[in-house]
Amino acid sequence: MKQNKKRNIIIAVVAVAVIALMVIAYLTLKPSTQTGAKSITVVVTHLNGDAKTYEFRTDAEYLRQALEEQELVGGIESDYGLWVQTVDGETANEANEEWWGFTVNGEMGMYGVDTQPVTDGDSYEFTLNVGYDSY
Amino acid sequence: MHTSVSSRISVSEIVQLAALTAIMIATKEIMNLLPNIHLTTTFIILGAMLYGWKVLYAVFGFVVVQGLLYGFGSWFFMYLYTWPICAILAALFRHNRSRFFWAMFAGLQGLTFGALCSITYLFIGGVQTMLAYWVAGIPFDLIHGASNAVVAFILLLPLYQLVNKIRSQT
């Protein structure tokens, strides 16, 4: 019984320490955002190869909000934010292993749309890919 | 009451572990409607309490079926070690019957899930990519940890007692 109590205390202390570490890491390492009017470009490359370019201004801190303001994306909520299924009216057909990926200023996006910061002058390119091996 | 576990696996246990795999998959699919809330960790702990190390059979079954359902992407490699680590640690403490302990255990599993998954990105893109992946997911990991703790606190011991009751009647 005494050993169980000791274990409970140890695991509670570990949990508090882990939460503290995560909060500190998030506050110090999270991607910085810009507030105020920002001008961004979104290029959408559809499955048939057609590309559409949208240039607009936004106050959004993160990409999801900016895209939703323009009604450019849709999808379902996942463990890591919005799982983008539809961009510019075209929905990825998962039965054919289609998926939307995006680049930020030509580089592969490291975040989801919920956590991708929006910076003035950014260019985002969404492409409908086929095949999970193309990841 | 502690369940004694033989080192050899019986036919009955194979069936029970297969049922546990099926329950983990079914509840995960249903709970997909609620992001970051699932019963998988609670069922893995329950399996460890009931079957000891043999719960790993159910865990690997669960991981393989997830791969078959969603494709064998980079996340599959994450699942190959994150869930077994959870099962191994749960098996180590399987005689513990403290509701609080298991709630904390499940909470820690949720809190560290993103950090464990990010290890895969160390090999894909280096330390920067790994850190970026982990940090971006921290808000979700915090929700995951809290929901895991609440679910385990409420469901684990009643489920354990229920399964033991059923087993004793058969």
Q: What is the DSSP letter of A83?
A: E
pLDDT digits (tens, 9 = 90+) for A46-87: 999 899 999 888 989 899 999 999 999 999 988 888 999 999
Asked if the model's pLDDT at residue B3 lies above 60, the reply is no
Using the beta-carbon criterion (under 8 Å), do A30 and B71 form an inter-chain contact?
no
- What confidence score (pLDDT) does residue B148 get? 97
Whether B136 has its CB under 8 Å from any CB of chain A: the answer is: yes
| ipTM for this prediction | 0.84
pTM of this structure: 0.73
- What confidence score (pLDDT) does residue A1 get? 67
Which residues, in sequence order, are CB contacts of B30 under 8 Å at separation 6+?
none
Using the beta-carbon criterion (under 8 Å), do B104 and A79 form an inter-chain contact?
no
Neighbours of A120 (CB within 10 A): 12
Whether B96 has its CB under 8 Å from any CB of chain A: the answer is: yes
The C-alpha atoms of residue B121 and residue A119 are separated, in whole angstroms, by: 25
The C-alpha atoms of residue B23 and residue B74 are separated, in whole angstroms, by: 24
Q: Which of B96, B104, B138 sits opposite A4 (nearest CB)?
A: B96
Which residues, in sequence order, are CB contacts of B154 under 8 Å at separation 6+?
none
pLDDT digits (tens, 9 = 90+) for B67-118: 998 888 778 889 999 999 999 999 999 999 999 999 999 999 999 999 999 9
